Chain A
Amino acid sequence: MPNMSPVKTPMPEQEPNVRNKNFEEVALGYTDEMAAEEAKRCLNCKNKPCVSGCPVGVRIPEFIQRVAEGDMEGAYQIIKTTNSLPAVCGRVCPQESQCEQKCVRGIKGEPVGIGRLERYVADWHMKHGAPEEFDVKPNGHKVAVIGAGPAGLTCAGDLAAMGYSVTVYEALHTAGGVLMYGIPQFRLPKEIVQKEIDALKEKGVKIKTDMVMGKVLSVDELFEMGFEAVFIGTGAGLPNFMNIPGEGLIGTYSANEFLTRVNLMKAYLDEYDTPIIRPKNVAVVGGGNVAMDAARTAKRLGAENVYIIYRRAEEQMPARKEEIHHAKEEGIIFKLLCNPIAIHGDDDGRVKAIECVEMELGEPDASGRRRPIAKEGSNFEIPVDSVVMAIGNSPNPLIRSTTEGLEANSHGCIVVDDTTMATTREGVYAAGDAVSGAATVILAMGGGKEAARSIDKYIQSKHSK
């Protein structure tokens, strides 16, 4: 009998006033009983609308049936056939606009908690699963992957499973990309990312860190070294600033810098040398998931007042509803319909206030959202000692500026064929934020997967000629 409850089985969470002082994970995950109960909400529909909502096509009803039957390992193996990072996706995917949006149960109530179940299965496997055995015959072909983020790791994993010898080159000292430097510990524990990376290494994927490609080795040199194809997944690592006065003041951070200091460089732990300003009052500018991450991180570093400053209304915020909800619960103050026009500093050049102007919404603009217009004379200041700019990132230009024949559009995004992920240069493929501009982990993974398929086709066809 299916469980006909109209709402998802709730997932336990740390209390807001406890968790906003620590870096432990916010959502605690389902128990076995909760997972079984939620799995029974799935109707196992014949046409599986949820699967079409998943960028990597996870066989959702199949794995949920296994959970309902108590076969967790079986469920894991089903997920693993299409998703190489389930513990990550179960935590950070925007399920509400993907698989869960298409769920039939969502018509008259809440959809099945697909993300929560995926997380449960992946966590179960990490705890209880047998070590995976790989019995893939090497096919003798070498592929290089640039960037060890979600796109690169997915591409590498899929190619390794087909028998390719894959080397991943990463610029930072740790693999994982945005999963390591960007998304905070309390949303995605780094131990989990590390386990997924270790699993890839066991599949034979070689990961070379400290390699800034485009500088230390060029794409041309990779071909000379015997790689038959190159995948570029270099992400959107170039922070945008507003170009308002005061962005050079001490205490003004890009979200990338602020989050990297805390996540990758572990500034929140005493044993690490990484310095960070621990502000009392912080303004985070922006309305996306990164802004929520930065605000909640600032709160955990001990800030008393953390403001999110966003120029439109809450309905237009690009952040996930769940992240906005969590941020509010943790005491983040939302200053909506406000736009910063200057940051003011003291004589030592340290931030002391942010000056904003109130906004109202006018006619819809090119993005379909109502355009915010400044209300004249509505200027006001908020006293802060730190400002974090979380207004988006552009693709990092290092690779495209050092690779001949690689076309990019006016935003700096690498141009690819939508279906094959082939760039304008033969044998070179790209996906993820380097192609789309800042987007989601799962879209990057979907692109990496597509590219792996195309790379396989490309190399096989070259050799069958």
Chain B
Amino acid sequence: MFKIVEKRILNDSMTLMAVEAPYIAKKAKAGQFIILRVNEFGERIPLTVADYDREKGTVTIIYQKVGKTTLMLDQLNEGDAILDFIGPLGKATELEGYKNVAVVGGGAGCAIAYPQAKALHGMGAKVDMIAGFRSKDIIILEEEMKAVSDRLIITTDDGSNGNKGFVTDALRKCIEEGAKYDLVIAIGPLVMMRAICNLTKEYNIKTLISMNPIMIDGTGMCGGCRLTVGGKTKFACVDGPDFDGHEVDFDEAIKRSKTYFDLEKEATREYNCRLMEGAKNA
């Protein structure tokens, strides 16, 4: 069992948890992920390591309440424990040698993009951070992102923060205004990452993306997380989760991400009903 030592609500749909996992905290690096299982009947889901504290022995995750498993996780509070917490899995992001980087995050993806920006900033690289949200009231980690970037641009789909647009628009503007990036890191929904990759291809800028497909064990055993990268089959859990975005077959990945879409929707609906029943009876 893995004790939750901190729970912080970031916005209506996103929550941060610091979990006691000393072995993982000792080894984790930016870009790696963990797999957790809330209880005996639950699914195993992968979540990126958002931060870690080697001294305290904690690993921080940020999750978005999108389905039954994350809703179940969200029922737990400080002092409660998660049944299984496994990691650090996947390869760490290779950040050595880059001098001028744009880190692009979309929604919950900002939680994963932030540690990358932080690591790059710490290594002395110039970092532009572009963060996109649906609207102003769900912006997360604004202060943190500001602290680790030379320039922070936040866009909203609805323009509620005064900067309407998509992250692609903002990135294009930066490039056209003369930013000479030697690397773009894009983390967020698949369609957003695909749009960024299409853009950076035009300018021939190397682009790293972080994939988060369906997986079970995270050790290469089930092969469920396979992707086509540069025409070859790769397993996101052991070969990734970072890949050269210009090589990834996004169409396939987007289709595969919908494998259990109907089953998930139904499970989430049922679980929400039960939560509401519980609230009514309480």
Contacts and interface: CB of A to CB of B under 8 A. Distances in A.
Given A237-B221, A397-B220, A265 B44 contact: yes
A249 B258 CA distance: 11
Contacts of B259: 250-251, 275, 277
Contact of B218 (A212, A239, A348): A212
Interface string A210-251: 111001110000000000000000000111010100011111
Interface in B60-104: 68-69, 83-89
B223 interface: yes
Contacts of A349: 252, 255-256, 258
Contacts of B68: 273
B255 A348 contact: yes
A216 B222 contact: no
Contacts of A251: 259
A125 interface: no
Contacts, number: 109
B263 A275 contact: yes
A260 B79 CA distance: 31
B23 to A, nearest CB: 5
Given A171-B86, A275-B260, A216 B24 contact: yes
Nearest to A174: B84
B87 A212 contact: yes
B222 A260 contact: yes
Contacts of A171: 86, 217, 219
B156 to A, nearest CB: 31
A261 to B, nearest CB: 7
B220 A238 contact: yes
B59 to A, nearest CB: 11
Contacts of A210: 84-86
B223 A254 contact: yes
A237 B219 contact: yes
B233 interface: yes
Contacts of A272: 41
B interface residue count range (under 10 / 10 to 19 / 20 to 34 / 35 or more): 35 or more
Kindly name the residue among A215, A238, A272, A349 whose own CB sees the greatest number of chain B CB atoms within 10 A.
Answer: A215
Contacts of A211: 23, 86
Nearest to B88: A215
B266 to A, nearest CB: 10
| Most chain B CB atoms below 10 A, which of A217, A248, A398 | A248
Most buried by A among B23, B221, B258: B221
Contacts of B267: 273, 275
A173 interface: yes
B174 interface: no
* Majority-rule SS of B interface residues: mixed
B48 to A, nearest CB: 15
Interface in B83-132: 83-89
A172 B217 CA distance: 7
A380 to B, nearest CB: 26
Given A243-B233, A348-B255, A173 B83 contact: yes
B216 A261 contact: yes
Given A216-B88, A247-B233, A248-B256, A265 B43 contact: yes
Nearest to B255: A349
B162 interface: no
Given A273-B68, A275-B264, A348-B255, A173 B219 contact: no
- Secondary structure at the A interface, as helix, strand, loop or mixed, is loop
A201 to B, nearest CB: 17
A171 B218 CA distance: 9
Contact of B23 (A216, A257, A265): A216
Contact of B221 (A239, A247, A265): A239
A173 B222 contact: no
A97 interface: no
Contacts of B256: 248, 250, 349
Interface residues of A, number: 39
Contact of A173 (B84, B228, B258): B84
Nearest to A243: B233
Nearest to A235: B221
A239 B87 contact: no
Contacts of B24: 216
A215 B264 CA distance: 30
Interface in A328-345: none
A171 B217 CA distance: 8
Contacts of B89: 212, 215
Contacts of A209: 84
Question: Which of A181, A238, A271, A277 has its CB near the most chain B CB atoms (within 10 A)?
Answer: A238
Nearest to A250: B259
Contacts of B220: 237-238, 396-398
B238 interface: yes
B37 interface: yes
B224 interface: yes
A253 B69 CA distance: 22
Contacts of B223: 239, 241, 254, 256-257
Contacts of A217: 23
B27 interface: yes
Interface in B153-184: none
B221 A216 contact: no
B53 interface: no
Contact of B233 (A241, A257, A271, A397): A241
Interface string A166-209: 00000111000000010000000000000000000000000001
14 contacts: A171-B217, A209-B84, A210-B85, A212-B219, A216-B24, A237-B220, A238-B220, A248-B233, A250-B256, A256-B221, A256-B223, A349-B258, A397-B238, A398-B219
Interface of A: 171-173, 181, 209-212, 215-217, 237-239, 241, 243, 247-251, 253-254, 256-257, 260-261, 265, 271-275, 277, 348-349, 396-398
Nearest 7 pairs between A and B by C-beta? A349-B255, A237-B221, A257-B222, A275-B260, A254-B223, A275-B263, A239-B223
Given A237-B217, A349-B256, 13 more contacts: A171-B86, A171-B219, A210-B86, A212-B89, A216-B23, A216-B88, A248-B227, A256-B222, A256-B223, A275-B43, A275-B267, A397-B220, A398-B238
